[in-house]
Amino acid sequence: MPFYEYRCSNCGHSLTKLQSMSAPALTTCPECKQETLVKLISASNCDLKGVGVFGNSKSPFKNDSCSASKSPCASCPNASN
């Protein structure tokens, strides 16, 4: 289950809540008891592991003919734009 962050637009109180993705968003601030709680957008934490993840032979950016020290191709993440 993900953590969701909320902030009250009335009093500024903020909180983090562990909720299922199907649970309705919280709306009542626990501090001021007003219906002014807003769900914030925050960064997620994701570990990419296994086959098909960057850094192995399945990377879409891996190209043996492309080198950052030479002239990188357009799909290379080291290409300067």
Cα–Cα dist 31/6, whole Å: 12
Is residue 16 situated within a structural domain? yes
pLDDT, tens digit (0-9, with 9 covering 90-100), for 55-75: 555 555 555 555 555 555 666
Torsional sign, CA 46, 51, 57, 59: negative
CATH number of the domain bearing residue 50: 2.20.28
Structural domain harbouring 41: 3-59
Please give the chain's pLDDT, 81 residues, in tens. 889 999 999 999 999 999 998 999 999 999 999 999 999 987 777 776 766 555 555 555 555 555 555 555 666 665 554
Is residue 77 situated within a structural domain? no
Is residue 9 situated within a structural domain? yes
Is residue 55 situated within a structural domain? yes
Cα–Cα dist 32/1, whole Å: 27
**Structural domain count of the chain:** 1
Is residue 48 situated within a structural domain? yes
Per-residue pLDDT, 69: 53
Query: What global pTM score does this model have?
Result: 0.54
Is residue 30 situated within a structural domain? yes
